[in-house]
A and B are shown apart, each in its own frame.
Chain A
Amino acid sequence: MNASGPDVLAILPELLLTGGALVLALSEVFLRGERRGYQPVVAGVVSALAFASFAANASEPARALFGGFAAQDGLAIFGGATVCVGLFLTVLVGAGFLRVRAAERGEFYALLLLSAAGMCLLLRATDLLLVFVAIELMSVPTYALATYLRTGQRPAEAAFKYFLLGAFSSALFLYGAALCYGATGQTSLRGIAAAGGGPLLVAGLAFLLAGLGFKVAAVPFHMWTPDVYEGSPTPVTTFMSVGVKTAAFVAMLRILVTAFGGTGLAGTVAWGPVVQALAVLTMAIGNLFALTQRSVKRMLAYSSVAHAGYLLVAVAAAANGAVRAEATQGLLFYLAAYTLTAAGAFGAVAMLERRSGASAQPWDLDQFAGLARRRPWAAAATAMLLLSLAGIPPSAGFVGKLLVLRAAVDAGLVPLAVVAVLTSVVGLYYYLRVVVYLYMQPPAEAQEIPVHSWATDAALLATAVAVLAVGIGPGLLSDAATAGAKLFGG
């Protein structure tokens, strides 16, 4: 057995999340009452506990776990803490959303927690075998969650598309892992770095990148994103955009840097230019398609694609060994900032969403019109979050973009940084258009008054305050990201 006590203790967050999921799933069996208010509380407490156990380990030195299958390092801890925050916000958004629709079930929260456990495992996986299992554990619950509500806009189509393309991308990843194993005889990332390579390893890396590209919604693997994000229940969309993105990006960085970033033969594979090309495409197409959307939810889906592009800039910068720590810090900061901002923004969508499934456009811009008159605080919070998505100071999104661009410039990728700035300018238009609707348009005539939910309101206000606070004083978060950029064996 190589499962020693300290190793098991190190994966305490995953154990907590799995345990919480079991409790919630079983609660549906044994507590047959119709009152389910305790479920989001349990899920929230479990995610807070998992966050605390990540935070408690923050100062531990990086080390390998379970004989090199996983690692306890800054990347795993910072990413895990980010995922737990995203999970907590999703639970808040979901609590209000489901209560209004009388759709609270233990399975919803159980699947969220199981998926989060998979994400935390993915963040620390240092062996392609475990990476694959963790990707599946992260994805399978989200496939089911995408079809959780059967009413509304084409939910079955969204879920089916997500499932098929997700399974396809997992197969691509697995094929890539098999080719890497065939080329090197190793599945551990450090083993691949130390072993020889050749063209087969390049093919393997290409498949691995394509598989992960689907998960992070990078162009040209983004086709599913708008339909799935729009068709899934809004809390699930929130979770996809914050959790899956964080875990998949950290896994991508870890694989590229640990296995293909060393000085060995595998390190000579020039993946930097490929990631640069993906970044340019993703930024351009994400922002351009977002321009034309009237549905705010679909706009946020394309915005999520665009943000994947900015994150890819950080990954491309990490190809340069000299600025790797800086680029990793930028990536982590950006992921944390995006988690806060996107969770809040989707929370605003959930707050305003019409309950009647008959409406053709439940997320139309008109829903946002005149919100400032009816609910000034919610409108101010939404505007703050949109400004952060656009990257306007003082906001967390601005600092994140600044750190990523600084890393790109230091890595000598000035053209890439220029493209990032230009596409951000395009992004301003569609984010600010929503703000204009919030403040300067009269409310539509027969507008349904959104139902108050303190949980969703709390998520909205908390994220807006946090985004502003990080924007004004980014020191704490950026220090944490610097500590998080210490990669085991990287």
Chain B
Amino acid sequence: MQGTVAVLFWIFAVLAVAGGVGVVAAKNPVHGAMSLVGSFFALAGLYLLLDAQLIAALQVIVYAGAVMVLFLFVLMLLNLTPAELGSPRFGVGKVVGALCAAGVTALVVSTLVALPVRATPAATDFGTVAAVGRLLYGKFTLAFEATSVLLLAAIVGAVVVAKGKI
């Protein structure tokens, strides 16, 4: 059992990272978006390995599904030609950015390696809809309700932006 989980973890992890690299490296934005879909699916697999079934399902439905369809719609509407996209160039900014990213990665990895291994088993109902719902309406009530107001604000804002010229 442990062995299977480890194998699955490495498969999903490699796929997720490869997808992420693909997003950055792809020349064609549509290819980048498809790499992102792959990365999202791999992440959903990782969530499953962590017993977070609901989050895994939401990841597939919301991100890999709805959000990516919107992304692709916009990309195809824009219909960018290679000339408009321009050619990638290496500037000082990119080098500094890469160095910073490498630094943060090294920091995260070194911290994680130094962490003591605490393999506490999750509660039996961990990750179920009921458990997540109880958390959302219990401990996280305020943040949850504030998020609902945030969505309302986003809708009203979208109406204002989309409305005709004032």
In the complex, identify which listed stretch (B5-13, B15-23, B77-85, B143-151) lies at the interface while the others stay far away. Answer: B143-151
Compute how far the CA of A117 lies from the CA of B165 in the bound complex, rounded to whole angstroms.
27
Compute how far the CA of A107 lies from the CA of B161 in the bound complex, rounded to whole angstroms.
11
Across the two chains, which residue of chain A brings its CB closest to B155?
A: A25
Compute how far the CA of A358 lies from the CA of B163 in the bound complex, rounded to whole angstroms.
22
Contact with A along B119-139 (1 / 0, CB 8 A): 000000000000000000111
A200 at the interface (CB under 8 A from B): yes
Residue of A66, A103, A134, A143 near B141 (CB, 8 A) is A66
* Interface of A: prevailing SS: helix
- A129 to chain B: closest CB distance in Å? 5
A477 at the interface (CB under 8 A from B): no
Across-interface contacts of A134 in B (CB, < 8 A) = 146
B96 at the interface (CB under 8 A from A): no
Q: Check B161 against A18 for contact (C-beta < 8 Å).
A: no
Known: A65-B142, A199-B107. A103 touches B153 (CB 8 A): no
Q: Check B154 against A129 for contact (C-beta < 8 Å).
A: no
Q: Check B159 against A107 for contact (C-beta < 8 Å).
A: yes
Q: Check B156 against A110 for contact (C-beta < 8 Å).
A: yes
Across-interface contacts of B146 in A (CB, < 8 A) = 118, 121, 130, 133-134, 137
Across-interface contacts of B160 in A (CB, < 8 A) = 105, 107-108, 111, 144-145, 147-148
Known: A69-B143, A129-B143. A182 touches B111 (CB 8 A): yes
Known: A141-B157, A151-B165. A114 touches B141 (CB 8 A): no
B158 at the interface (CB under 8 A from A): yes
Across the two chains, which residue of chain A brings its CB closest to B110?
A: A199
- A130 to chain B: closest CB distance in Å? 5
Known: A130-B142, A182-B108, A203-B104. A141 touches B165 (CB 8 A): no
- A64 to chain B: closest CB distance in Å? 11
Compute how far the CA of A3 lies from the CA of B150 in the bound complex, rounded to whole angstroms.
19
A428 at the interface (CB under 8 A from B): no
Q: Check B149 against A66 for contact (C-beta < 8 Å).
A: no
A44-82 contacts to B, CB under 8 A, are 65-67, 69-70
Q: Check B156 against A114 for contact (C-beta < 8 Å).
A: yes
| Residue from B137, B149, B163 with most neighbouring chain A CB atoms (10 Å) | B149
Contact with A along B88-124 (1 / 0, CB 8 A): 0000000000000000100110111000000000000
Q: Check A133 against B166 for contact (C-beta < 8 Å).
A: no
Across-interface contacts of A198 in B (CB, < 8 A) = 111
Q: Check A111 against B153 for contact (C-beta < 8 Å).
A: yes
Q: Check A115 against B143 for contact (C-beta < 8 Å).
A: no
Q: Check B166 against A103 for contact (C-beta < 8 Å).
A: yes
Across-interface contacts of B166 in A (CB, < 8 A) = 101, 103, 105, 148-150
Across-interface contacts of B154 in A (CB, < 8 A) = 140
A136 at the interface (CB under 8 A from B): yes
Across-interface contacts of B163 in A (CB, < 8 A) = 107
Across-interface contacts of A351 in B (CB, < 8 A) = none
Across-interface contacts of A105 in B (CB, < 8 A) = 160, 166
What are the nearest 4 A-B pairs in CB distance?
Answer: A144-B157, A66-B142, A114-B153, A200-B111
Which residues of A are at the interface with B, using a C-beta cutoff of 8 A? 1-3, 11, 18, 21-22, 25, 65-67, 69-70, 101, 103, 105, 107-108, 110-111, 114-115, 117-118, 121, 127, 129-130, 133-134, 136-137, 140-141, 143-145, 147-151, 159, 179, 182-183, 198-200, 203
Additional 17 contacts, C-beta under 8 A, given A66-B142, A127-B143: A1-B138, A70-B142, A105-B160, A107-B160, A107-B163, A114-B153, A114-B156, A117-B149, A121-B146, A129-B140, A130-B146, A136-B150, A140-B153, A144-B157, A159-B161, A182-B112, A203-B104
A-B contact pairs, 28 of them (CB 8 A): A1-B138, A2-B138, A2-B139, A21-B156, A25-B156, A65-B142, A66-B142, A67-B139, A69-B142, A69-B143, A107-B159, A108-B160, A110-B156, A111-B160, A117-B149, A118-B146, A130-B142, A130-B143, A133-B150, A137-B146, A137-B153, A140-B154, A141-B157, A144-B156, A148-B160, A159-B161, A199-B111, A200-B111
